């Protein structure tokens, strides 16, 4: 089953040329006579030759690989971003190395180390440490060390003391769009659930939420803003808490779509009519179109997000000028969950 590794030397011998010439046809060097090129190509086909990328990387000092760290690919928000990045990177000849961190710092470290070792040409970082408002000095130092060797792009995050390229969803504006929409629907009592204090994506949203509410002359109630985490179960807990309040809010915004799924589930289990509330999520992951009621939410513009990521990656690698910070605008997708019923 295993063949001997055949190399350009083998091809050279068969074609009666030097290895150099074989290498030339491999790199599409135009300084090769057409007839010899044809001959060499023929022999390569015959012998089923494939150049060894490791050897190539070694001499060319470039691997055509980029590393992508994200918390959890089973979360549609990340997979929807990743797949677009993979596609576009592929078009430009790059191989993406995907690694899940599960938001665990040691995993992130491991992945970073591996990326450096494999000499990826750029690292894209989402989630985890880059969303901590108070960054860990050790993590900062590690990032800086990595960045001395590999350029790094942070997506929807940042670290104090780590200056690098950033591409971010305009989350403030997303929240404003949600608040405006709910007020238009006649709501006066808005709640925000999910997330965690000290995590930048949460803090940004909470701040924007509070500001926008007060700007519109509504009342911000502390007890209607519940930090409860990011997943479905966390959403259930928040909703459970909310249902015990008196008075209750009439509209509920989720830090992401997932927590709203949980909130809906909790209402059902407690036999609380869904219609009692308007719900709005954030991310527009695919299940939001199929849950019941379908979920009003903020779409990240995944296409533009991924386009900008790969675009930046490319320019950074090619040492072209790149904007240090790129903001991606969002879009409010109105579905059933936020429309006034009865």
The site for DNA (CB under 7 A) is made up of 5, 7-9, 16-21, 23-24, 26-27, 31-36, 49-52, 55-56, 58-61
**Using CB distances below 5 to 8 A depending on partner kind, what does residue 279 bind out of its own copies, DNA, none?**
none
User: For DNA, which is the closer residue by CB, 19 or 76?
Assistant: 19
User: For DNA, which is the closer residue by CB, 57 or 250?
Assistant: 57
Compute and round to an integer the Cα radius of gyration of the chain: 26
Task: Check binding of 108 to its own copies (CB under 8 A).
Answer: no
User: For DNA, which is the closer residue by CB, 28 or 244?
Assistant: 28
Q: Return d(Cα 15, Cα 267) in angstroms, integer.
A: 74
Which two tokens mark 52?
């060894």
Q: Which of 35, 61, 137, 271: binder of its own copies (CB under 8 A)? A: 61
Q: What is the largest CA-CA distance in the chain?
A: 88
> Beta strand pairing status for 251-254 and 65-70?
unpaired
**Using CB distances below 5 to 8 A depending on partner kind, what does residue 305 bind out of DNA, its own copies, none?**
none
Sign of dihedral through CA atoms 267, 272, 274, 276? negative
Task: Check binding of 271 to its own copies (CB under 8 A).
Answer: no
**Using CB distances below 5 to 8 A depending on partner kind, what does residue 105 bind out of DNA, its own copies, none?**
none
Q: Are 280 and 338 in contact (CB under 8 A)?
A: yes
Among 13-21, 96-104, 173-181, 305-313, which window interacts with its own copies (CB under 8 A)? 96-104
Which x/- pattern, by CB under 8 A, does the window 208-247 give for its own copies? ------------------------x---------------
Closest residue by Cα to residue 127 from 70, 76, 203: 70
Q: Return d(Cα 325, Cα 70) in angstroms, integer.
A: 19
- DSSP class of residue 5 equals P
Task: Output helix, strand, coil percentages for the chain, rounded to the nearest 5.
Answer: 50, 15, 35
Angle at 330 between CA 326 and CA 332, to 5 degrees: 175
Phi, psi (rounded to 5 degrees) for 291: -70, 165
User: For DNA, which is the closer residue by CB, 36 or 210?
Assistant: 36
Q: Are 191 and 225 in contact (CB under 8 A)?
A: yes
Task: Check binding of 91 to its own copies (CB under 8 A).
Answer: no
Task: Check binding of 54 to its own copies (CB under 8 A).
Answer: yes
Q: Which parts of this chain interact with its own copies (CB under 8 A)?
A: 1-3, 5, 48, 50-55, 57-58, 61, 63, 72-74, 76, 79-80, 82-83, 86-87, 90, 95-100, 110, 113-114, 116-119, 145, 147-149, 151, 232, 261-262, 264-265, 268, 286-287, 289-292
């Amino acid at each position: 089953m295993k063949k001997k590794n055949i190399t350009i030397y083998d091809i050279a011998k068969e074609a009666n040329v030097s290895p150099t010439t074989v290498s030339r046809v491999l790199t599409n060097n135009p300084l090769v006579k057409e007839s010899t090129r044809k001959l060499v190509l023929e022999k390569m086909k015959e012998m089923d030759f494939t150049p060894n990328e490791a050897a190539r990387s070694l001499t060319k000092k470039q691997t055509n690989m980029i590393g992508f760290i994200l918390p959890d690919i089973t979360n549609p928000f990340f997979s929807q971003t990743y797949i677009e990045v993979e596609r576009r990177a592929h078009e430009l000849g790059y191989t993406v190395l995907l690694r899940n961190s599960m938001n665990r710092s040691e995993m992130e470290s491991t992945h970073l180390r591996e990326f450096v070792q494999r000499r990826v040409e750029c690292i894209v970082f989402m989630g985890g440490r880059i969303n901590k408002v108070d960054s860990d000095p050790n993590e900062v130092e590690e990032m800086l060390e990595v960045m001395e060797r590999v350029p790094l792009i942070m997506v929807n995050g940042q670290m104090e003391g780590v200056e690098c390229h950033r591409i971010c969803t305009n989350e403030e504006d997303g929240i404003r769009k949600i608040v405006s929409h709910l007020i238009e629907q006649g709501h006066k009592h808005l709640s925000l659930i999910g997330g965690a204090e000290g995590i930048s994506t949460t803090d940004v949203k909470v701040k924007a939420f509070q500001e926008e509410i007060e700007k519109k002359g509504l009342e911000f109630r502390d007890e209607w803003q519940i930090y409860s985490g990011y997943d479905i179960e966390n959403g259930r807990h928040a909703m459970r808490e909310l249902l015990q309040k008196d008075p209750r809010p009439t509209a509920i915004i989720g830090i992401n779509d997932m927590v709203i799924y949980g909130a809906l589930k909790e209402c059902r289990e407690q036999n609380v009519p869904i219609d009692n509330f308007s719900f709005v999520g954030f991310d527009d992951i695919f299940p939001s179109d199929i849950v019941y009621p379908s979920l009003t939410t903020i779409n990240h513009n995944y296409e533009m997000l991924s386009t900008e990521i790969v675009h930046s990656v490319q320019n950074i690698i090619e040492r072209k000028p790149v904007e240090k910070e790129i903001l991606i605008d969002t879009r409010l997708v109105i579905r059933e969950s936020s429309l006034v019923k009865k």
